[in-house]
Amino acid sequence: MAKSEPPKWSWAWLKWQRWVWGLLGVALIRLSQLLPSYHWLQSWFRIAPEECRQLIETLGVSIVIAVVLSVIVDYRFKQDLVKNAFHAAFGYMLPKHLESEMQWVYGQTIAATYNHLEFTIEPLLDDPGSVKFSLKTRRELTNHSNDRVCYPADVLFDLEEWCHRQGPSVIEKAEVRRRNDRPRINPKIGFNNTNRRWEAKLVDELWLEANETVVVLCDGYEFRAVNDHYTMVFRTTVVDPKLEVTILSPEIDHALHHSDRLEEDQRENRGGYYSLKGTLLPYQGIEIRWWRKVDLVQEAKTCDLGQ
């Protein structure tokens, strides 16, 4: 049997009743201030005029304090109650080895709700076995919580160094743009000898205020083989990423691989543009693979891959 729902007007009353009580408290305080001026009101009460005034004033102040506490404290308590109930329910339902993982997932408050990635593969005329692989990222990171949260990594963007004969990998841009005319954050770009990578590293921790959104822009390029691949892994949750692949040669083809959590929107996918639907958790990546068509055909003939 269908469960009946309360009328909409009742929900509106529950939503606004604390403000009605607040106005009532203010009105009582004001009445206590005016009461000594109206002697006929004093005759309505069977107690001394001053005691009557203090009683009304105390009642009004108590109501106002209750409303203020409900606004400031009640919302936070409800949030904590929902969070604790969620942890308790899923902690009971999930196997033991997944409980900590679920808590980690639930704690991911920073998410990239806008993601536009551009991959460009450019063959090198003086080096047929190599390509210039360029990458541009445009992301909007939002703190989906009511608390101040730190970005979970000190490296904002990195590229691998292959010691290619054409030259080193280069990070051309890495910056964080904040709204409300706040100054931009420019990470320090340098080479990490330990992991052999070029890194755009934050000088100070990046803190996002409650519900704040920042724009992260990063550009760079690497020199890679003509038959190669690139995997990009994210440190925050990624929602509905969009990718644009540009191949500056008809002799090179490509393929895009991603987690099963993402689905391709066939209505928007076209000629190197991919609109993916879904959510990637931190450390889940997207891979692009490219190859020279003639090399694949020759390899297929040699190994009978086409059979």
CB 55 within 8 A of CB 48: no
Per-residue pLDDT of the chain (307 residues; tens, 9 = 90+): 444 444 544 545 555 777 777 788 788 887 777 766 555 555 555 555 666 777 777 887 888 888 777 776 666 666 665 565 556 555 556 677 777 777 788 788 999 999 999 999 999 999 999 999 999 999 999 999 989 999 999 999 999 999 999 999 999 999 999 988 889 999 999 999 999 999 999 999 999 999 999 999 999 999 999 999 999 999 999 999 999 999 999 999 999 888 766 676 655 545 688 888 889 999 888 999 999 999 887 776 666 654 4
Terminus-to-terminus CA distance in the chain, angstroms? 59
Domain ranges of the chain: 10-74, 110-302
- Phi (first) and psi of residue 20, to 5 degrees: -65, -45
| Structure token digits, residue 8 | 């909409």
pTM above 0.85, yes or no: no
The class of domain 110-302 in CATH terms is mainly beta
